[in-house]
Amino acid sequence: VTHISLGNSACFHFVVVLKTPRVLGASAGSLVAAAVVFTILDEMLHFAKQVKAFTLGPFDPSISIFHWLECVLRKYLPSDAHQLASGRLAVAMTRLVDGKNICMSEFQSKEDVALLCSCFVPVYCGMRPPSFRGVKYMDGGFSSMQPVSGPASHTLTVSPYSGEADICPADPPCMWDIVVAGTNMKLNMANSFRMLSSLYPRTLEVLEQAYHNGYKDAFHFLLQKGASNHEGELQN
């Protein structure tokens, strides 16, 4: 689970009040998007802290990060999760058979909300990818880190890495950029550290700092642009 993306959940505290009609997410961003729709932001952050409490974090052989995440979702998602999510939450996944990005926004039951498919990283989360309606999927970030539904100009993008997203860390100018799954990011040491920490945060302090950095990024953006100008879709 990318804990820095969970750190960016602070961004959504601001955007929720705008009554954003649609929230999209890929990879760990789908968990943050779901946390917004279901208002379980604190529970998701607590989950990340629990994982870090183990000696090797998510790599500790005594835990199954994917199974643990499944239990957390089963516990905290409301019984009417599919009704709350349908039409508002869009979950991006990568179809295993052809690598195509699939975005789901209509769900038939609580178990049908495809969050596990969207953030399944082979090896890191296990060797057997989950299925959604009989089709196997893996992490949505492999095919599109920032899925957009409808006109891109109407979508407010959020990223834990500095680059071209509307809300992201404000790093100094950089000579080099890198495109990862359709997303432009700065190729610098700060982003390298963020990527490393997303897989294995060194301390709980790093986790907390990522959360507060996301809060500051969102606050700075909305102060600059004015919250009233950003109604529409939200993508993480």
Helix and strand numbers, DSSP H then E, in the chain? 9, 9
Length of the chain, please?
Answer: 236
Residue (of 19, 3, 1, 5) closest to 233 by Cα position: 19
Residue (of 176, 114, 110) closest to 139 by Cα position: 114
pLDDT of 137 above 90 = yes
**Cα–chain center distance at 71:** 18
What is the predicted pLDDT for the residue at 50? 73
What is the predicted pLDDT for the residue at 7? 43
**Catalytic residue numbers, as ranges:** 27, 139
Whose structure tokens read 């729709």? Answer: 37
pTM assigned to the model = 0.74
Say which residues have a Cβ less than 8 Å from residue 178's Cβ, sequence separation at least 6: 184, 185, 186, 187
Mean pLDDT for all residues in the chain: 77
What is the predicted pLDDT for the residue at 166? 82
User: What is the C-alpha separation between 32 and 44, in angstroms, rounded?
Assistant: 8
208 vs 108: which has the higher pLDDT? 108
Where is 190: in which H helix or E strand?
Answer: helix 189-199
